[in-house]
Every structure is written in C-alpha cells, then in structure tokens.
Amino acid sequence: MTFVKTHDIADLNSGLVGKDVVLCGWIEDLRKMGKMTFITLRDVTGISQIIVKGELNENLGEINRQSVASVSGTLQETKARDFDFEVKAQKIEILGKAVHPLPVDPIGRLESNIDTRLNHRALDMRNQKTASIFKMRHHVLQILRQTLAEKKFIEITTPKIIGSASEGGANLFSLEYFGKTAYLAQSPQLYKEQMTIGLERVFEISNFYRAENSHTGRHLTEFTSVDIEAAFMDYDDVMDVLESLVIKVYESVAQNCKKEQETIGHTVNIPKAPFERITYSKCIEELQEAGQKVEIGDDLLDSHLRIIGERHPGFYFLTDWPIKLKPFYIREKDEDATLSRSFDLQYGYLELSSGGMRLHNPEMIKSRLGEQGLDPAQFADHLKAFDWGMPPHSGWGMGLDRLMTTLIGIDNVREVVLYPRDPDRLGP
C-alpha cells in the first residue's frame, strides 16, 4: 500500500515540480479521453489534477467517483486553467471504494434537504460548503479561546452530570445514576460563579443540555455555550468584554476565512462598536408605539423581538430587565429594586447571549430562591461558597451555534452543529 501521504494538496508548490509526491484524497471527477484519463482528486486542503497515461491508463479498471485513493506520481506544470500543477500518475491505489448511488451528492450539484444531509453527515462534510462552515467554526473557537486568554480569563471545564439544577427546575434532562437521580447541566452557572473566589476570571466553552420541546431554527436540546464569569466586574464591564469579543471574532473571520466565505456565499460585515444599548423599558415603549399590547413587567415574546429586531438590525444590548423575569442569581439595581443589572445581546430578533451582575449575599440568594419556588436546600453546596469570601461578580453565556448562524447568514443552528440534537433528532 502506498498511502503514506507526502503532501497536502494546498502545500504543492513550484519547488516540487519534477519531484515525486504521494497524494491521498477522494476522486471528485474522472474523465476518460481515449489514451488519457483526467482525475480530479480532493483532500481537505484543495483539489489537484491527476493525468493518467500509457500502461497505467490501459489497466486503470473501474474507478468510482468519491472513492478514496492514493496517487503516486511526478508533479508537473499544467496548462489547465483551474489548477496550478498536475500530477503525472505512476501508481493509483483505491484505499476505500464509494458504493453508488451515494445518499447525498458531495459535490452539491444535486441539492439534498437538510434532514437527508444530517442523516449522512460524514458524507455531507465532503461538500465544500458544509466543510467551510466547520472550518470557520474551528477558527471561531480558536479566536474565542485566544482572545479570552489575552483578557486574562482562565479556561475551566465544569461537570455535565450534576445532582441539582443550575438554572432552576425547568427544562432539565434527568437520568438514573446508580440508584439516584442525576441531571444534565443546563449551564455552568453555579460552578463558574464559585470559581471566581480563587481564579477571578474564568471561561468555559462546552456543550450544555435543555429539555426544551422547541421546534425552531435556534433551539437545540444540546448546544455549545461560551460562558464567562469575572470577579470585580459590573454588568457594564462584562458587556464590554462581550462586545469586543464578538467584534474580534467578526474581524478575524473576515480576514482569515476569505475562501470559506466565498464557498459559503456570504460575506461577513464587521459590526461597529459601541453596540446600541436599549433598556427594557425603552423597548416596551417602542413596542407600544408599534401598536403592541405589552406592559412593563411582561416578558418579550418572539413576535415582539421580531418587531424590535426590524427596528434595530445587527447587534444591540437589551438591558435592565425586570428582576422578576430574571433567574434567582441576578442582582437588582441599587436605585430601583424592581429592575436588574442584566442584559441580553441580540442580533436582530435573535438572542445570542444573556448575562448580568450576580447576587453575592447568600441571604439574598436564599430569599430569591424562595420567591421563585426553588428550595434553598437543593443549592446548599453552592451557597456554602458564599461564606468563603465571595467577590462581587458578573458574567454571561453566549450560544456559539447561534453566533455561527450570524456569521454564515443561515438562520438554522442545525447547519453549524455536526450532529444536532432536537426533540425529533437523536441520531446519527
């Protein structure tokens, strides 16, 4: 077998002309022209033309498109317009046959619907548009980690199997755990807050779980969350962190993922700082002006956010929500205890992130738990840490999958998640 790959296709260069190379990849196209066969070979980095002549061509036999092959040959200049070089093949070995008909067309000439693509996701990854989305997601993950580390946040990994709710009782998946009931974590909320007592600034990028029976383009039962928590910061400070992080991601993708944007067919427009900050009460006024029957204290429905989103396209913060609409750990405003030091980051109608300043007085937390019908005893382990010198702290959680949809201009999170999980999809 000659599958020792000597070069990725993108690494072929004029210095290698006349030298022997071994390329490995998938046969994207194959044209038999009498005494010659032209093969297009693709690997994850690019495509190359392979010329097959003479005895090798006569004995080529049956080669299926999309089979995986290793090609040994000599690199040479080419007259072909679409390629920089070509390889004159000396040996072609099929390493794995593709059995036709394939369930989806990886070239994308025949479009398949999203369910068919998701059911055959590995093959869908050979479609250049899909591959570009995941190359871009890889880049976004790198830039998030790098930027947060530069801002002196320490990466943590919190447990996903937990003994009690982190966000309150709703939307929890439970599982049998050696005779006890355990839950899948909805967020790292309690752990990230606790970590501020020693590490000050922490972040986590992990999957979390919501037993939400939602059938929309923005809800999954397993999603990737980017979370931060920072001691000695107020909610304005962590909004600044979020704003600069989002801009950094956009700048970096615009600059470093040009090929991916072209293949996806969507150009990333870098948003300008500062993002507009609209208070919840201003938002209610705008909705009333637009003829909506909403009052201060009402939660904002999807239909409301669509109206606000049309008036404020792009990124903006919705701040100072009524305390009763926010989780038990969010702190009230000093000047008006009915309002909270909280925010959502919106992209048009889409909620990308929510966060705020936290309560750090354990008695206040217990009383808020009670008000929200939660049992403080269930949170005893968490509340202990508040007697060990808990600093004032703030943070946020951002849905990575939702952020990705804004970068690729497609409003279905299933496009940006390898194997999405929703109420109707548990496999593959």
SS (H, E, C) the chain: CCCCCCCCHHHCCHHHCCCEEEEEEEEEEEEEECCEEEEEEEECCEEEEEEEEHHHHHCCCCCCCCCEEEEEEEEEECCCCCCCEEEEEEEEEEEECCCCCCCCCCCCCCCCCHHHHHHCHHHHCCCHHHHHHHHHHHHHHHHHHHHHHHCCCEECCCCCEECCCCCCCCCCCEEEECCEEEEECCCCHHHHHHHHHHHCEEEEEEEEECCCCCCCCCCCCEEEEEEEEEECCCHHHHHHHHHHHHHHHHHHHHHHCHHHHHHHCCCCCCCCCCCEEEEHHHHHHHHHHCCCCCCCCCCCCHHHHHHHHHHCCCEEEEECCEHHHCCCCECECCCCCCEECEEEEEECCEEEEEEEEECCCHHHHHHHHHHCCCCHHHHHHHHHHHHCCCCCEEEEEEEHHHHHHHHHCCCCHHHHCCCCCECCECCC
Query: Taking the complex as a whole, how short is the minimal distance between the CB of residue 49 and ligand AMO, in angstroms?
Result: 43
Please identify, using beta-carbon distances, which residue of 94 and 364 lies nearer to ligand AMO: 364
Whether residue 9 contacts residue 1, with contact meaning beta carbons closer than 8 Å, is answered with no
Tokens of 137: 């997601």
* Residue that the structure tokens 């099929």 belong to: 94
Please identify, using beta-carbon distances, which residue of 72 and 340 lies nearer to ligand AMO: 340
Query: Taking the complex as a whole, how short is the minimal distance between the CB of residue 368 and ligand AMO, in angstroms?
Result: 14
Q: Which residue is nearest to ligand AMO (CB)?
A: 399
Please identify, using beta-carbon distances, which residue of 124 and 204 lies nearer to ligand AMO: 204
Please identify, using beta-carbon distances, which residue of 216 and 269 lies nearer to ligand AMO: 216
Query: Taking the complex as a whole, how short is the minimal distance between the CB of residue 370 and ligand AMO, in angstroms?
Result: 20
Query: Taking the complex as a whole, how short is the minimal distance between the CB of residue 308 and ligand AMO, in angstroms?
Result: 15
Please identify, using beta-carbon distances, which residue of 40 and 225 lies nearer to ligand AMO: 225
Whether residue 76 contacts residue 87, with contact meaning beta carbons closer than 8 Å, is answered with yes
Can you give the length of the chain in residues?
Answer: 428
Please identify, using beta-carbon distances, which residue of 37 and 340 lies nearer to ligand AMO: 340
Whether residue 393 contacts residue 228, with contact meaning beta carbons closer than 8 Å, is answered with no
Query: Taking the complex as a whole, how short is the minimal distance between the CB of residue 379 and ligand AMO, in angstroms?
Result: 14
Longest Cα–Cα distance of the chain, Å, equals: 87
Query: Taking the complex as a whole, how short is the minimal distance between the CB of residue 241 and ligand AMO, in angstroms?
Result: 12
Query: Taking the complex as a whole, how short is the minimal distance between the CB of residue 244 and ligand AMO, in angstroms?
Result: 17
Please identify, using beta-carbon distances, which residue of 86 and 204 lies nearer to ligand AMO: 204
Whether residue 193 contacts residue 358, with contact meaning beta carbons closer than 8 Å, is answered with yes
Query: Taking the complex as a whole, how short is the minimal distance between the CB of residue 395 and ligand AMO, in angstroms?
Result: 5
Query: Taking the complex as a whole, how short is the minimal distance between the CB of residue 199 and ligand AMO, in angstroms?
Result: 16
Please identify, using beta-carbon distances, which residue of 83 and 275 lies nearer to ligand AMO: 275
Please identify, using beta-carbon distances, which residue of 212 and 285 lies nearer to ligand AMO: 212
Query: Taking the complex as a whole, how short is the minimal distance between the CB of residue 289 and ligand AMO, in angstroms?
Result: 26
Q: Is the peptide bond before 322 cis (omega within 30 degrees of 0)?
A: no
Return residues touching ligand AMO (CB under 6 A).
167, 187, 189, 210, 212, 219-220, 223, 225, 227, 351-356, 395-399, 401-402, 413
Please identify, using beta-carbon distances, which residue of 25 and 399 lies nearer to ligand AMO: 399
Query: Taking the complex as a whole, how short is the minimal distance between the CB of residue 152 and ligand AMO, in angstroms?
Result: 18
Residue 280 neighbours by CB distance under 10 Å: 22
Please identify, using beta-carbon distances, which residue of 285 and 411 lies nearer to ligand AMO: 411
